[in-house]
Amino acid sequence: MADDRAPSGPSGPWTLARALAPASVAIVGAKDSSSTSYGVVEALSRVGFEGQIFAVNRSGAPAHGLTAASSCAAIGEPMDAAVLLVPAAAVSDVLEDVAEAGIRTAVILSGGWAEAGPEGMARQRTLASRAGELGVTPFGPNCLGFLNVAERTGAWIASVPADVRPGPVAIVSQSGGVGNALADLAGEFGVGLSCVVTTGNEAMVTTTDVLEYLVEDQCTSSIAMFAEAISSPARFLAAAARARELGKAIVILKAGSSALAARNAVTHTGSLVGDDRVVDAALRQSGVVRVRSLEELIVTADVMAAAGPLRAPGIAVVSISGGSVDIVADEADRLGLDLPPFGEPAGEEIRAVLPGFATVQNPLDITGAALGDEFAKVLAIVDRQDDFGAVAVLSNVPSYDSSKVPGICGLLSTIGTGLGSITLPGFLLSQTIAHLNETGRDAVRGAGVSALPGLSLGVAALARLSRWSRWLQSDAARADRPAPARNPGQLGDFPASGPSGTVSEWRARELLEPAGVPFVPAALARSPGEAADFAATLACPVAVKLVSPDVPHKSDIGAVRLGVAGEDAVREAFGAVLSAGRVHRAGSRVEGVQISPMRSGGVELLVGVTRDPQWGLAIAVGLGGIFAEVVADIAVRLLPVTACDIEEMLTELRGSAVLDGIRGEPAVDRGALVGAIAGIADAAWGIGDALESLEVNPLRADHRGAEALDALIVFRAAHQKDGAA
């Protein structure tokens, strides 16, 4: 938490909670002609701030009707926060003044710091360290500050929606502009806010600091986060674990997913698993809900806060305005929203309430005609079904046309009363994203339900709520996940032997087999005669491969011969793979030639472990063997993983049906496959810091079991081992 780094002073330990709740605010650079400083005053008034506000400018000229002073120190009263509207060049002087005045929080608007190149970066570092010495916690620079709606305070340098209202959703955004847009949208959608914090260049306070604070904040039930990068991954994950314990959702829009910094890696896994796949895995494994748009971010956070974890993942949809039921059904199907059928006797009970309505299905169309006590009765029946965790009522909501308002308000109050009398959380799902007029908004709020703006956003948010709730109940979410011990002895100390840290397939096998990874049988032949002898004992066609730490991709250079049958052919293949190695690179070290029985049929998978500089070791599982790169159908998780995670990864693959057997092939032995993958994962985790990457490609699976047909390990040079996970 920022608190660790933020200084303590005479007034006791400084916490982010205190920084975010100033009782008095000095606006440095305030002048009457400035709409920016006016905006700060206006924002404070919008949230009902009742503390002192001072205008500070060089001449001490009054501004916006506030008492003015020529410096913070000249105010002569203790102040909590200063908003610095001065240019970057003036910031360091103002910071000294701020500290002299005993102010502990400074919100810095100006740009021209780290975002402006190396010089700016150096200036920002100096700023941060000086702030630290002075005991001032800076927000930004290059940020819009924070708005604490719940505590009716802030230091916010942007617009505030006219109808901002307190509520359980917190917003944290690296970008000030995005934070501002999100706050505006929350107002537009009627979403109540606890606070909005922007962190800008994060000279000191980061989004992760703010996240840690918000997770514990009593006024916050869900957190909407926008970030381009996640700072301090380990602390981020710990905050996510704490949020899970408290049943609070973290919803994130993480930008930069297209900038796939595919790594320059020896193994294919490295290039398959871009940075974003690893981030995605980290978020998924920690129960953080990822969205792709700002609208989804606000609506999803709203839904999560309103409902909290559902008792069951199923959602019942009751439609009043008909028409759109099929759209809901289609969207639900597309987005994986769980809409369980009503079942019996619930169906029978509903039919009894709604005579003449033959099709009792979910979504249920009861039409406006059944809005008497039928509606409440249907809701009560739904409420008794264990399959459901929430109810969404599909209805028109009053928008531009005020002439419709009175009728719709009546309808909304019926819906509100109905939803209010059941235990399940309820939502109003409007058909479109149409702007609500003020009366409409009041009516929806009066009904005491969250109105979800339109079917696309609404169904998507409900689907995420449902999935998150299911995840919270799953094994994957268990806080006490056992982490396999590192360096399980048998792996010993294997130094890198290839120029880029690679070891031969044979050496990789020697490491992985004792760690529980099943391999196709093999022998290492050092002469054509040995090769032929071993092939003869196998009495079947064999695979003949060059074994060299300098040839990580053997078939690329013709160093693999498949389906070799008969003594002469084996002898010939022995010579051929050796000379392929020599042609590839003179002086390639050769450990021998590997002879294995030819396997056929089954499914080839790629299982790879790669190191992400930020998040540590990640495992990828994909279908396709040698085609994996083209098909790119992979599932990714951070290590360590449980068998349960591995099962989930297999299910997640687009081509997962292949594992269940297609074209008359029997289903693969899932248990054996999961066991083999777990062996690879544990071995990689056991190698730990010394591992750069590890790949088993292919891992072949059929109904009898799973075996590795190839393996490649890349070790890190000693100087690369930084102790990172």
Interface residues toward ligand ADP, by CB under 6 A = 520, 543, 545, 553-556, 560, 562, 596, 598-599, 604, 625-626, 697-698, 709-710
Residue closest to 690 by CA, chosen among 604, 602, 624, 609:
609
Question: Helix, strand, coil shares of the chain as percentages rounded to 5?
Answer: 40, 20, 40
Which of ligand ADP, Mg ion, none does residue 596 bind to, with CB < 5 to 8 Å depending on kind?
ligand ADP
DSSP state of 69: E
Q: Of 38 and 627, which has the nearer Cβ to Mg ion? A: 627
CB of 594 to ligand ADP, least distance (A): 8
| Cβ pair 397, 432 in contact under 8 A | no
Q: Of 43 and 542, which has the nearer Cβ to ligand ADP? A: 542
Backbone φ and ψ for 693, nearest 5 degrees, come out as -160, 165
Q: Of 160 and 712, which has the nearer Cβ to ligand ADP? A: 712
CB of 626 to ligand ADP, least distance (A): 5
Which of ligand ADP, Mg ion, none does residue 464 bind to, with CB < 5 to 8 Å depending on kind?
none
CB of 646 to ligand ADP, least distance (A): 21
Could you tell me which residues come within 8 angstroms of residue 601 by beta carbon, excluding any fewer than 6 positions away?
665, 702
Which of ligand ADP, Mg ion, none does residue 543 bind to, with CB < 5 to 8 Å depending on kind?
ligand ADP
Q: What is the 3-state secondary structure (H, E, C) of 456-482?
A: HHHHHHHHHHHHHHHHHHCHHHCCCCC
DSSP state of 658: G
Q: Of 645 and 710, which has the nearer Cβ to Mg ion? A: 710
Which of Mg ion, ligand ADP, none does residue 379 bind to, with CB < 5 to 8 Å depending on kind?
none
d(CA 607, CA 625): 9
CB of 460 to ligand ADP, least distance (A): 40
| Cβ pair 634, 277 in contact under 8 A | yes
C-alpha distances in angstroms, 82 versus 6, 32, 101? 16, 18, 10
Which of Mg ion, ligand ADP, none does residue 467 bind to, with CB < 5 to 8 Å depending on kind?
none
Q: Of 159 and 555, which has the nearer Cβ to ligand ADP? A: 555
313: its two tokens: 């993942």
Exposure string over 307-317, b if 16+ CB within 10 A, otherwise e:
bbbbbbbbbbb
Which of Mg ion, ligand ADP, none does residue 261 bind to, with CB < 5 to 8 Å depending on kind?
none
Which of ligand ADP, Mg ion, none does residue 560 bind to, with CB < 5 to 8 Å depending on kind?
ligand ADP
Q: Of 196 and 709, which has the nearer Cβ to Mg ion? A: 709
Q: Of 245 and 556, which has the nearer Cβ to Mg ion? A: 556
Which of ligand ADP, Mg ion, none does residue 241 bind to, with CB < 5 to 8 Å depending on kind?
none
Q: Of 21 and 531, which has the nearer Cβ to ligand ADP? A: 531
CB of 604 to ligand ADP, least distance (A): 6
Exposure string over 578-601, b if 16+ CB within 10 A, otherwise e:
bebbeebeeebebbbbbbbbbbee
CB of 269 to Mg ion, least distance (A): 11
Which of ligand ADP, Mg ion, none does residue 17 bind to, with CB < 5 to 8 Å depending on kind?
none
Binding mask 128-147 for Mg ion (x = CB under 5 A): --------------------
d(CA 429, CA 206): 35
Could you tell me which residues come within 8 angstroms of residue 586 by beta carbon, excluding any fewer than 6 positions away?
none
CB of 307 to ligand ADP, least distance (A): 48
CB of 674 to ligand ADP, least distance (A): 21
Backbone φ and ψ for 62, nearest 5 degrees, come out as -60, 150
Which of ligand ADP, Mg ion, none does residue 637 bind to, with CB < 5 to 8 Å depending on kind?
none
Q: Of 324 and 697, which has the nearer Cβ to ligand ADP? A: 697
CB of 697 to Mg ion, least distance (A): 4
Cis peptide before 345 (omega within 30 of 0): yes
Residues 659-718 that bind Mg ion (CB under 5 A): 697, 710
6: its two tokens: 């933020």
Could you tell me which residues come within 8 angstroms of residue 708 by beta carbon, excluding any fewer than 6 positions away?
509, 512, 517, 518, 519, 520, 676, 680, 696, 698, 699, 700
CB of 505 to ligand ADP, least distance (A): 6
CB of 625 to ligand ADP, least distance (A): 5
Q: Of 268 and 290, which has the nearer Cβ to ligand ADP? A: 268
Q: How many residues line the site for Mg ion (CB under 5 A)?
A: 2
Residues 180-219 that bind Mg ion (CB under 5 A): none
CB of 449 to ligand ADP, least distance (A): 56
The Cβ of residue 12 has, within 10 Å, a number of other Cβ atoms equal to 8
Dihedral sign (CA 101, 106, 110, 115): positive
Which of ligand ADP, Mg ion, none does residue 245 bind to, with CB < 5 to 8 Å depending on kind?
none
3-class secondary-structure state, position 656: helix
Q: Of 46 and 554, which has the nearer Cβ to ligand ADP? A: 554
Q: Of 139 and 534, which has the nearer Cβ to ligand ADP? A: 534
106: its two tokens: 């400074």
Residue least distant from Mg ion (Cβ): 710
d(CA 50, CA 392): 39
Strand ranges for 207-263 from DSSP E: 222-227, 249-254
3-class secondary-structure state, position 647: helix
- Site residues (vs Mg ion, CB under 5 A): 697, 710
